[in-house]
Structure 1
Amino acid sequence: MKKYLIFLLAWPLFAGLNNLDINQAIIMLENNNLELKISHFNEQMKAYEAVAAKGNHYGKLDVSVTGMRSNDAGNVFGFKVASREATFLDFGADEFMATMDPTIAPEALNFPEARNHYQTKISYMLPLYTGGKLIEYGRITEAMHRMSQWDTQKLINEKIFQTKKAFYDISLVDNYILNLSKIIKNIDHLESIVKSMGEEGYAQEIDLLEVQARKAEAESMFNQAKLNRDLAYQFLSFLLNTEVSSIKKVNDMAPMPSVDPIEVESNNIDIQKALLGLQISQMATNVEKSKYLPNIGAFGEYGSADDEIWNEFRDKDSYTVGVQLTWNIFNGGVDAANLEKAKVNHLKVQDQVSLAKSGIALKVKKLETEILSKNADVKSYQKQLRFARKVYENYRSRYKEGIVSISDVLIKQSRELEVLLKLLTVKNERNTKIFELNSILNRGGKV
């Protein structure tokens, strides 16, 4: 019973998903992919950084409790003053009254007994005006949080691109395997024809060996295709962080997306990141400008001290409040240089935004052109494949009639296989470019 229970607990770890739908896979990807989880953690950290930056507006409240013991004359007298317990006797008043000698060194003041000192303080510091520096820091951290969200969305698009490509790759390989199996059956049929013709004396042994060699070559390609399919499944399982055993096949031709130039500019993540970077560069310039303005802060402190902790707290309490203004007048031109540097960086980022817009538009146009070219190639290879199959069938019949050699037949069969490979390759290239275009357009999600 114990062994059976262990098997039940372990079984889900080794069982792979079967007949997985591409839309289900995308949902699993967004929930399970480890790189996306890490990216979401980065988002959370940036969100906390933004909260921390806002917290600087509310100042800082500290509580401190200090315990000391000293026989240093200055310390002991200071302890007594802080505890509101200093008397004239601490100055040696009794010794002076006894001798009336002003030059006498008071023993009580210079050589006091050791004293304990416990001090409790509550202090609060609040920035009243910082030239806008804290406001800009808060806006920068919020913008960096938004930037991390754009980074995550871009990673999601990339992973969706990879997931869709894995589905289409597997479907193409399955199609390739299916066609290879048909070709191998055709070679088997040709082999039986050669054998029967050899028995009747119409074919030579070299013909049979040539057919068997071609069959071995096709079977090797068949096995290699199955290994490539297994590798694609492993990669898909890695993306989903879940073992996948089989998928629902998709059409081996991904649909062509519609492209609107206005939508491209408003949705593309690289452009949005560039625009956000432009805002951040302006905020950074404002931070440098704030260094020319004064900083004003308020502070308050409340506490109590005694030779016993928290003894007679209210009777010996004290407070201090104040306002401070600091204003840097000169620092060797450092602030001026940093401000000019920030302005130049803002100009640079403006050009980067323009470059991003024109670069993305060019890339979209290039992908559209390449996809249309691949569409034409697909149609061409489809026609060539149909023709190659017909030619092969014709040559096989003509071989039975003794009109052509077995080499001629196998050459035509090789042509069929060659065109099939080219067709599947160009379909794969076309699908890859379509998924790349969808990623640029920021179109993920369901198919």
Structure 2
Amino acid sequence: MKKYLIFLVAWPLFAGLENLGIDQAISMLKNKNLELRISHFNEQMKAYETAAAKGNHYGKLDVSVSGMRSNDAGNVFGFKLQSREATFGDFGAEEFVINSTACQNGDNQACSDMFNKPPSALNYPEARNHYQTKISYMLPLYTGGKLSEYGRITEAMQRMSQWDTQKLMNEKIFQTKKAFYDISLVENYIVNLSKIIQNISRLETIVKSMGEEGYAQAIDLLEVQARKAEAESMYNQAKLNKDLAYQFLSFLLNTEVSSIKKVSEMAPLPEVNTAAVENHNIDIQKALLGLQISEMAVNVEKANYLPTIGAFGEYGSADDEMWNEFRDKDAYTVGIQLKWNIFNGGIDAANLEKAKVNHLKVQNEVSLAKSGIALKVKKLETEILSRNADVKSYQKQLSFARKVYENYRSRYQEGIVSISDVLMKQSKELEVLLKLLTLKNERNTKIFELNSILNRGGNV
């Protein structure tokens, strides 16, 4: 009993969302869709790249602490100089004085050693520890505008990633709306199929009754049962399609969905304004942004013809003990450097011309994007209007097919037509119903595609 109660309490946790509305679904999509989350992460990475590019303007400050020990003559002498402890004794002054005194007392060997024998204190010093702490700062003063252009390019790339997210969101909204309309369409299709199956069942009952009275043949009943099996197969396939649509919707929302609020079978046709399309279409906006980036790239290549100027400064202290007498032995170095490339074999000129050609190419891509999107919008509008006319036609055909079927069923009971004639008319009803479903689905798909091009899914 306890296990049963636990199951009843826990069961709602595993149940899917019930009676989900389309607006609620779109709100969930924006927050929960995994592909959109990944795209937002890409945006964040681009934002950090922009911050990193801007950071180059402020230079670089480093702190280094090193510890060494050496008996190499050059190193030991250098250590002593950096520690401000070098003496004349390090140059062999003591040995020189001793040899000089001995030479004055008549020691010829001492006279020779005084000028020819290398000093032992300088060449064979004792091993020495060396600890150095240094702070260094490098700052670019002028780069011909290259750093500024790099910063603008990374900002533009960040905006480009936002456009990519916006486009992806429009696509996911398109898919979510389509899933709602698909489910609503297939549910109505299932209802109509149920009615058709009921009609066939009634016809089956009539054929059986007429067979018992000798007015129908066994083959008539078999024909009706075969048609009923065909309709039931279509019914089962429609239910499977509905389940698949729910699974796809659950995938989009990253949440299990059990049922939705049905929507109209026919999605509303959006109003199209040519100027608004150019101002809001994402592909056009991305092309315009790409044009700006190509112009910045030209400026970067132009900067190669200008000099770069940088400043640097160092401050530190060294001793044979860590941080010993730091202020007494500190030292600084400051400087400025100008670098200007005069000749590099025409590489800069070639890269500049390449950037200019790319800029011209992107200009043409912008024009192509505008004309291509305008053509696509016009094509979609035409196809939607065509589907509207077809839907109206098939709705009338469906209504007519149902009446014809009812008429032939009555005429069959009167023995005027054969069961094959009746089933042929019923088959026509099924055919028109399926075609009507397909047309509505195609029409809705094109409307959602048009909405996606118009970028009316809301900002990221």
The two structures have a TM-score, normalised by structure 1, of 0.98
- 1:239 corresponds to 2:252: yes
1:157-214: CA deviations, max 9, x gaps? Answer: 0000000000000011001100000000000110111111111111111111110111
Return closer, same or farther for 1:321/1:8 CA change in 2, 3 Å cut-off: farther
Alignment CA distance shift 1:4-1:397 (3 Å): closer
Does residue 76 (structure 1) correspond to residue 76 (structure 2)? The answer is: yes
**Unaligned stretches of 5+ in structure 2?**
101-113
Do 1:96 and 1:104's aligned partners in 2 also have CA atoms closer than 8 Å?
A: no
* Cα distance between partner residues in 2 of 1:63 and 1:119: 11
Aligned to 2:142: 129
What is the rounded CA distance, in whole Å, between the counterparts of 2:333 and 2:13 in structure 1? 66
Query: Which of 358, 382, 396 matches 1:369?
Result: 382
* Alignment partner, residue 116 of structure 1: 129
Q: Does 1:284 align with 2:297?
A: yes
Q: SS where residue 102 of structure 1 aligns? A: helix
Label 1:315 to 1:381 Cα distance change in 2 as closer, same or farther (>3 A): same
Q: Which deviates further from its counterpart, 23-32 or 11-20?
A: 11-20
The corresponding residue for 1:316 is: 329
Quote the residue 2:198 is aligned against. 185
Is 1:171 aligned to 2:193, yes or no? no
2:293 alignment partner AA: I
Counterpart Cα distance in 2 of 1:334 and 1:9 = 74
SS in 2 for 1:46: helix
Name the aligned partner's letter for residue 28 of structure 2.
M
Amino acid at match of 1:43: E
- Once residues 59 and 10 of structure 2 are traced to their aligned partners in structure 1, the CA distance between those partners, rounded to angstroms, is 54
Q: Secondary structure at the match of 2:268?
A: coil
Amino acid at match of 2:334: V
Provide the rounded CA distance (Å) in 2 between the counterparts of 1:347 and 1:284: 12
Indicate the larger mover: 2-11 or 296-305.
Answer: 2-11
In structure 1, what is the Cα distance between the partners aligned to 2:7 and 2:115? 98
Aligned to 1:24: 24
Equivalent residue number for residue 352 of structure 1:
365
Residue 431 (1) aligns with residue 434 (2): no
Residue 95 in 1 paired to residue 95 in 2?
Answer: yes
The 1:251/1:46 distance shift into structure 2, 3 A limit, reads same
Which of residues 339, 342, 358 is equivalent to 1:326? 339
Matched, 1:38 2:38: yes
CA distance in 2, matches of 1:377, 1:165: 20
Corresponding position of 1:147: 160
Identity %: 85
Task: Provide Cα deviations, 1:219-255, integer angstroms capped at 9, x if missing partner.
Answer: 0110010001000111010100111111100001000
Identify the range of structure 1 (40-49 vs 99-108) with the bigger mean alpha-carbon deviation: 99-108
Q: Report which stretch shifted further, 4-13 or 20-29.
A: 4-13
- Matches of 1:400 and 1:222 in 2, distance apart? 27
Contact 1:171–1:250 under 8 Å retained in 2: yes
Moved runs in structure 1, 4+ residues, more than 3 A?
A: 1-13
1:320-339 deviation per Cα after TM superposition (whole angstroms, max 9, x unaligned): 00000011111110110000
What is the Cα deviation at residue 8 of structure 1? 8.1
Given that 1:26 and 1:445 are in contact with CA atoms closer than 8 Å, whether structure 2 keeps it comes out as no
Equivalences, count: 446
Aligned CA distance change for structure 1 residues 124 and 7 (closer, same or farther; 3 Å): farther
> CA offset at residue 6 of structure 1?
7.9
Amino acid at match of 2:26: I
1:196 alignment partner, one of 209, 215, 227: 209
2:61 pairs with 1:48: no
Q: 2:288 aligns with which of 266, 275, 284?
A: 275
Measure the CA separation in 2 of the matches of 1:383 and 1:120.
91
d(CA) in 2 for partners of 1:117 and 1:10?
70
Structure 1 residue 422, shift from structure 2 partner: 0.6
Match of 2:369, SS?
A: helix
Following the alignment from structure 2 to structure 1, what is the Cα–Cα distance between the partners of residues 60 and 8? 56
Instruction: Tell me, in whole angstroms, the C-alpha distance in 2 between the residues paired with 1:359 and 1:9.
Output: 57
Distance in 1 between the 2:142 and 2:9 partners? 62
SS of residue in 1 equivalent to 2:270 = coil
Inter-partner Cα distance in structure 2 for 1:11 and 1:50: 48
Q: 2:334 is paired with a residue of what secondary structure?
A: strand
| Equivalent in 403, 426, 429 of residue 416 of structure 1 | 429
Give the Cα separation in 2 of the matches to 1:171 and 1:108: 98
Q: Which letter does structure 2 place at the counterpart of 1:295?
A: T
1:70 and 1:249 map into 2 onto residues whose CA distance is 84
The residue that corresponds to 2:419 in the other structure is 406
Residue identity in the other structure for 1:397: S
Change (3 A) 1:364 1:119: same
- C-alpha distance 303-252 of structure 1, shift in aligned 2 (>3 A): same
* SS in structure 2 of the partner of residue 54 of structure 1: helix
**Aligned to 1:314, what secondary structure does the other structure show?**
coil
Kindly state the Cα deviation for residue 15 of structure 1 after the two structures are TM-superposed. Answer: 1.5
2:313 maps to 1:300: yes
Structure 1 CA distance for aligned equivalents of residues 448 and 4 of structure 2? 46
The higher radius of gyration belongs to 2
Residues 1:222 and 2:235 aligned together: yes
Q: Distance in 2 between matches of 1:444 and 1:199?
A: 63
1:156 maps onto 2:169 in alignment:
yes
Structure 1, gaps ≥5 residues long: none
| C-alpha deviation, 1:142, in angstroms | 0.1
CA displacement at 1:444 relative to structure 2: 1.5
Cα distance in 1 for partners of 2:12, 2:321 equals: 65
Q: Once the two structures are superposed, what CA deviation does each residue of 1:125-175 show, in whole Å capped at 9, x if it has no partner?
A: 000000000000000000000000000000000000000000000011001
Deviation of 1:262 (Å): 0.3
Deviation at 1:2, TM superposition (A): 9.6
The 1:5–1:285 alpha-carbon spacing in structure 2 relative to 1, beyond 3 Å, is farther
Look up the match of 2:106. none
Superposition RMSD on alpha carbons, in Å?
1.5
Go from structure 1 to structure 2 and tell me whether the alpha carbon gap of 1:34 and 1:5 turns closer, same or farther (over 3 Å shift): farther
